[in-house]
Amino acid sequence: MRYVVAVAEARSFTRAAERCHVVQSALSHQVKALETELGVRLFARTSRRVDVTAAGEAFVEAARQSLAAADRAVADAAEASGRIRGTLTVGVIPTVTAIDIPAALSAFRRAHPSVQMRLRGGGSHEFIAAIASGDMDVAVLGLPDSMTPAGVATRVLARERLVAVVSTGHRLAERRRVRLEDLADERFVDFPAGTPGRIPSDLAFREAGIPREVAFEAMSLDLILDLVRHDLVIALLSPEVVPERAGLRTISVIGGPTRIEYLAWSDFNPTPATRAFLDTLEPAPPSANAPKTAREGAFVEG
């Protein structure tokens, strides 16, 4: 079944064999033997093309469910004996600030070396859908404070107000704080329209009745910062993602956009690896005398 699923996903016997770490002839023989046993063709193939037949589509869907159940059975049995096995797929937005992801994965690997870890980049909406469908275990989301994730379990990691990021040569570079209306005539770089990383800023300007020109769109944080550093545009970002380096200044924005960073997972029968990873990230209880900061719940206006 694993061979068939691999061929269906790769649309190639060669790539499927590489993925399964077997020689192509052995994989092809096993698939052909299965087709003979079933009495149906799972794949239509030529020397240049592989397509899944209607019978193959039906088989692959059921095979995925069977393989997932088998993998879960192995993981549950290992957990019962005190070991964690299986896979852990983690989604991370480009602007994650509340968790040191490499450090968290490293600590998890040391504690549970038998778990296969996968890391995916992308946006919050696609992560929510992937968790709901079972294709992802855990994700870090960034959403406006007016939007609550639906269909997944969540834990609030941080609340923060975005800051204006400008070049050192910008007309506002020496200001400590500005109002949202002070930015009305600026050209912006932002994430693509409709993405969770963009929504907080669009909402803030819309609710204030202030027009905004987004001249450049990008998903790469490094590209966004470089465009700002070259004084082509300004940006609204979490202060935690702006490096302390020459060429950039951050300015508090009174009435500016806010966002919440969440840890999200499925609470419908999470895997042992998921539960273990959540335990790894369990925050320590705050000190009774610790002051609240903007990232702990109280927004600070510059």
Per domain, the residue ranges of the chain are: 2-80, 86-159+260-280, 163-256
pTM confidence score = 0.62
Q: Dihedral through CA 91, CA 95, CA 98, CA 103, nearest 10?
A: 60
The answer regarding whether domain 163-256 maps to CATH 3.40.190.290 reads yes
Print pLDDT tens along the chain (302 aa): 888 888 888 888 888 888 888 888 888 888 889 888 889 888 888 777 888 888 888 888 887 777 666 666 665 655 554 567 788 999 998 888 888 899 999 999 998 998 999 999 888 989 999 998 888 999 999 988 878 888 899 999 989 899 999 999 999 999 999 999 999 999 999 999 988 889 999 999 999 999 999 999 998 999 999 999 999 999 999 998 898 877 999 999 998 999 999 999 998 878 888 999 998 886 544 433 333 333 433 333 33
Please report the pLDDT score of residue 89 as a whole number: 94
pLDDT at 122: 87
Beta bridge partners of 177: 252
Q: Do domains 2-80 and 86-159+260-280 have the same CATH topology?
A: no
The confidence score (pLDDT) of residue 141 equals 92
Predicted pLDDT of residue 224: 95
Measured CA angle at 56 (ends 51, 62), to 5 deg: 135
Q: How many CB atoms lie within 10 A of CB 211?
A: 9
Question: What does CATH list as the number for 2-80?
Answer: 1.10.10.10
> What confidence score (pLDDT) does residue 133 get?
84
Of 67, 1, 262, 275, give the one whose Cα is nearest residue 151. Answer: 262
265-269 long-range contacts, CB within 8 A, separation 24+: 265/131, 265/137, 265/138, 265/139, 265/152, 265/153, 266/131, 266/132, 266/134, 266/137, 266/152, 266/153, 267/152, 267/153
> CATH fold of 86-159+260-280, please?
D-Maltodextrin-Binding Protein; domain 2 (3.40.190)
